[in-house]
Structure 1
């Protein structure tokens, strides 16, 4: 065999081996849904028998916890730190977001159930993977509501809620509206009441169009149907509630509401942690600064609490 051919073959074998090793520890994976293809990142920890499905929060939030107006990499950090603790994970871009953009629906056709069914698809994928004895679901913010619904499946062994609300979305929005002028809060609450009862509101004041435009109302109606307390109460498996006490979006009281309906859950309040899982004060402007700081680490208590919970319940 000539030296050149031997060099070429050695190089090809080396490249293939490196690529295979890379794919075994971090893979880009896909599942087909009704409207297209969803993409996710599968991190496989060495000698891992536990895998977590990580579900991101509301809006155009991607697999890493980022959206077009902020980059904090919070969920990416969670996945990477869990890997170091021996826990594999899969996190994904929701339909219409990031690499799953082509699977998005026109706004008037989107329903909350689409997100639920997509998460179930990913669970089916994880269940098909060899070597995992324990599947957990980790949901952040709105992803916690999706998570507690799909975690009712028999293939899910445990569930972790991070910054999950204890009230339905309409009640949270209504509470937020109380701080607005009467000219905003009164017509908004009237619209909310109709949406809760499944009624479309045609004559929305232009000033309220951002929140209640007709095209988004079907999604809101579908979202408002789900009561986190009812869904969380149904779970009869190991549960962990994580909540930061400087979260200016979801309060500690919301976590306590969840714990109140399902006392078998472990409730852990992390001092100084905000909504994007980073250390921050209650001061709003300084708190929000962390939402766009990808170098600021997620608080270590997040990883330690989750890994300890999973080790105790695997």
Structure 2
């Protein structure tokens, strides 16, 4: 499979078209104990739905108490599954969020994107995955919102939409289409996509992690960004390390389309008093609180709940006194106590 986006933590997925009904399969599953301070709550029902010839797989969480709302949960970049995990990368970010919401009576839907979990590549192949773009990702999320509305009776204009990392950009794009009545932007992509990648890749070079290729990566990076923004392609002679990091032909359409959207501009278009939860953390090494600040300012006209965490990593795991490191990416750490309190309080206010 292509070198899919892994740098920000999560991914995207095609979803359902509800014409003529949706194929659903129901299998109640016992929920795993993640070792989280957020306890398992509610019951997952396995659901399948079709879009563009692909069958997508997800989990519809039903609370144990009468439902007070419904939420669509969207992951970040790369082949991240419905729970917020990738192969070799444990986080359970969305699974734990579903637990917290269910405890407050909020039903939720999460699903495996293209390239993730039971959905796999769907109708795409390693040779055609470059045809998958950010616009399709938003289309599929909109279809997922329709499925959630059908199953819960909560209209798409009234559901909650929660996006983690790259998923926050998808969330804002859905809001721009009139989908969602409340939003959570969790450790969000806070600026144009290629601007953030430039910051992240430059940091890799400056830290010595790219070794002797660092100078070549710094030199080629502006050329790659300019090409993606002007033509939607990457130069054929781009340094191979940049291709390995994701700036390659397979990702070009997705990156070009995603980069056209500026999160603060989308945030400014939200209606006055829209209920929004925005988070950042001092120990998030992928998105800093300073980078989130312009997005926070753009949300000043909304009913904003801003949570500045101190000990959570990008995946909203608890680090306590530990620094963020590759270990907390691979291992499943307990959920952030700060996030647990924040999501519980926000969900309680939505009930």
What is the TM-score normalised by the length of structure 2?
0.77
**1:98 aligned residue:** 117
Paired with 2:241 and 2:289, the residues of 1 have a C-alpha distance of 31
Note the C-alpha offset of 1:69. Answer: 2.0
| Deviation, structure 1 residue 107 | 2.3
1:44 aligned onto 2:59:
no
* 2:225 aligned with 1:192: yes
Kept in 1: contact 2:82–2:111 (CA 8 A): yes
C-alpha distance in 2 between matches for 1:112 and 1:86: 31
Displacement of 1:223: 1.9
Equivalent of 1:290, from 323, 328, 339?
328
- How many Å apart are 1:64 and its aligned residue? 0.8
How many residue pairs end up in the alignment?
293
Match of 1:89 in 2: 108
Q: Which residue of 1 aligns with 2:146?
A: 124
Instruction: Quote the offset at 1:281 in angstroms.
Output: 6.0
Once residues 152 and 293 of structure 1 are traced to their aligned partners in structure 2, the CA distance between those partners, rounded to angstroms, is 36
Which is richer in helix? 1
Cα deviation digits, residues 224-266 of structure 1 (max 9, x gap): 1111111122122211101222100111122222111120222
The alignment partner of 1:96 has SS state of: coil
1:168 lines up with 2:171 in the alignment: no
* Structure 1: tracts of 5 or more residues without a match: 1-18
CA RMSD of aligned residues (A): 2.3
Confirm or deny that 1:147 pairs with 2:167.
no
1:222 aligns with 2:257: yes
Q: Secondary structure at the match of 1:37?
A: strand
**Cα distance, 1:170 vs structure 2:** 0.7
> Aligned-pair distance for 1:290?
2.0
Question: Is residue 232 of structure 1 aligned with residue 254 of structure 2?
Answer: no
Alignment of structure 1 residues 197-212 onto 2, 5 Å? 197-200=230-233, 201-210=235-244, 211-212=246-247
Tell me what 1:28 maps to.
Answer: 46
Task: Name which of structure 1's ranges 73-82 and 128-137 shifts more when overlaid on structure 2.
Answer: 128-137
TM-score by length of 1: 0.85
Task: Tell me by how many angstroms 1:96 deviates.
Answer: 2.2
Q: Report the Cα distance in structure 1 between the residues aligned to 2:123 and 2:114, rounded to whole angstroms.
A: 5
Q: Which moved more, 1:103-112 or 1:205-214?
A: 205-214
Displacement of 1:283 in angstroms is 6.5
Match of 2:308 in 1: 269
> Helix, strand or coil: the match of 1:305?
helix
Distance verdict in 2 for CA 1:194–1:65, change over 3 Å: same
Structure 2 unmatched runs, 5+: 1-26, 31-41, 206-213
Q: For 1:184-238, what per-residue CA distance to the aligned partner results, in whole angstroms no more than 9, with x for missing partners?
A: 1111211111211234223323343323323322222122111111112212221
1:244-283 aligned within 5 A: 244-263=281-300, 264=302, 265-280=304-319
CA distance in 2, matches of 1:35, 1:302: 37
Report the alpha carbon displacement of residue 158 of structure 1 after superposing the two structures with TM. 0.2
Shift of 1:127: 1.4
Secondary structure of 1:277's partner? coil
Match of 2:337 among 282, 289, 300: 300
Mapped to 2, the partners of 1:155 and 1:194 lie a distance apart of 32
Q: Are 1:248 and 1:282, in contact at CA under 8 Å, matched by a contact in 2?
A: no
Task: Indicate the SS of the match to 2:221.
Answer: helix
SS at structure 2 position matched to 1:38: strand
